[in-house]
Chains A and B, each alone.
Chain A
């Protein structure tokens, strides 16, 4: 008696699977085309449209966009008031990134090296939990915390540390009437809101550093500080850079936090928002929107040169 070596076909599903098995490329094309269409057409396409828009200019009398290629709009960016906005935003983004990195590193290091089981779950929960609530709610909550009548001022009064708070607020350039109306307040809220985006990539990078590399470092004569500088930091750098890309670019583009907390001084995001809306100057808004992209490219080039991606 002979038995068939091939099992009988069980309907159209089998036939489809067989087609995919014989033509593996077909499956790949089918799987990749929707995201590629989205990424290529919708995403990169609109970015190109934005770029195009920034090379147009606006007629100063009629307020109509002239669809002719010109660098005039970009030249406008270099006017003192616009340059001011860019500089303020970049400084803030840099400060926020640095602040996030300093706060995030010990947390990420603990989570990667020491937290196990329940502690690890608690860590993820603690980091992600703030992301589950609305951004606006958090920002307004911070406005209340930082306000002159808020809990921070109250706590400072009751612990006799008002002097410190007043001292900080008296600092020229970054101080102000109260925390909620000063650049320090903007900084604090930015750091709070973007911190998870710094912690998570850092933690992932630190987790990938094998313990044996740290042990070898001690065995070969390195002290703790030397191990940190020569082994941990270079190997965690891709994570730090990934995290800083988030914090830096998110701060560069945000237009809500500076509007609610801080002085009335404008940031890039707010400028884009106003130029494309009330001012109706779409080309200038587009040119402003290109600024963060350009800054990020420069930033990545520097990070690459520093060897941030060598350990990848």
Chain B
């Protein structure tokens, strides 16, 4: 019921074009992640779905209806804002109650629904406090409860975990994913963190310069990036120019080779010189100079590491060498 279709959307701000001819189909009950560097149009796209911005051209269709002219308040879409946008003068209880009051939900239902939403995000004991007295993670939960209390069909999340530390971030990622599966509503999640995007998305749209560079499952995008930008932005990758690809035995085309697909060998058809080592905890990243290009190989912890300046061979499965259709 709540599939979302963006049809040839353009958003201009004066001379600047934020979003350029974008089309995007979001399935019902899907967890879609919009990933991209800052200024790539991902947040603008989300804000247009929410109704906080209107597209300059094109149509936004939610649940079969064109909603271009419909005010944010009349769209059955809720948003979790980047800074949470909680009302500092209201208690947590009143914050969660706000949408119920605004949408004219009968007062008799308020308490039950507020407590239900608070329980859903495990927020039971803070209801009397003001947002100022809560930690970042707790505020995050309040913002979620407030967005969900009205049971929207679509939940938009604008970098909701950006302000949290790593541990809490990972815990919230799991919780959000579980919540989405339990509620069965559409989630659109904006982030610039590729790890977050890969681990949470059913479907992942990679944005670049106001366009979608690639859309697909996280596995698909990671294994088969279509452009250099995607290969580089999602995970770390060795992006190979055509001549290097050919030197490695592939066609004369741009290609992507993930560091973890490279093995260090003794001798072999491809040899080079170790230029740098970087310790990453779970392993090390070894930079090897070959045929005018520098390739990074990931060596898991516990395996022997070469000295800088040593000559090593590089081995890989031909299948791991992904030739890109775009440039």
- Counting CB contacts under 8 A, is B83 at the interface? yes
Q: Are A311 and B88 in contact (CB under 8 A)?
A: yes
Please, which residues of chain A bring their CB within 8 A of the CB of B99?
220-221
Please name the residue on chain B nearest to A311 by beta carbon. B89
A74 CB, min distance to chain B CBs, angstroms:
39
Whether, in the assembled complex, B78 has its beta carbon less than 8 Å from a beta carbon of chain A, the answer is: yes
Interface size class of A (residues with CB under 8 A): 20 to 34
For residue B47, which residue of chain A has the nearest CB? A215
| Stretch with Cβ within 8 A of B (4 or more), from A58-66, A227-235, A243-251 | A227-235
Contact of A220 among B71, B83, B98 (CB under 8 A): B98
Chain B residues in 8 Å Cβ range of A231: 87
Given known pairs A216-B79, A226-B102, the reply for A221 and B85 (CB within 8 Å) is no
Bound CA–CA A215/B84 (angstroms): 11
B89 touches A307 (CB 8 A): yes
Q: Which residue of B lies closest to A214 (CB)?
A: B85
Question: Which one of B72, B87, B147 contacts A218 once the chains associate, using CB atoms below 8 Å?
Answer: B72
B146 within 8 A of A: yes
Complex Cα gap A218–B89 (Å): 18
> Taking the complex as formed, is A219 at the interface, i.e. its CB lies under 8 A from any CB of chain B?
yes
Q: A-facing mask of B87-122, CB < 8 A → 1, else 0?
A: 111000000001101110000000000000000000
How far in angstroms is the closest Cβ of chain B from A237? 8
Instruction: Decide: B150 and A216 in contact? CB cutoff 8 A.
Output: no
**Are B52 and A218 touching (Cβ within 8 A)?**
yes
Residue of B78, B89, B103 with highest tally of chain A CB at under 10 A = B89
Let me know if A215 and B103 touch, CB within 8 A: no
Most A CB contacts (10 A, CB to CB) among B73, B78, B81 go to B73
A223 part of interface (Cβ distance < 8 Å): yes
What mask results when residues 200 to 239 of chain A are scored 1 for a CB within 8 Å of chain B, else 0? 0000000000101101111111110010001100110000
Chain A residue contacts of B85, Cβ below 8 A: 210, 212-213, 215-216
- Decide: A230 and B102 in contact? CB cutoff 8 A: yes
A310 at the interface (CB under 8 A from B): yes
B residues whose Cβ falls under 8 Å from a Cβ of A: 50-52, 71-73, 77-79, 81-83, 85, 87-89, 98-99, 101-103, 146-147, 150
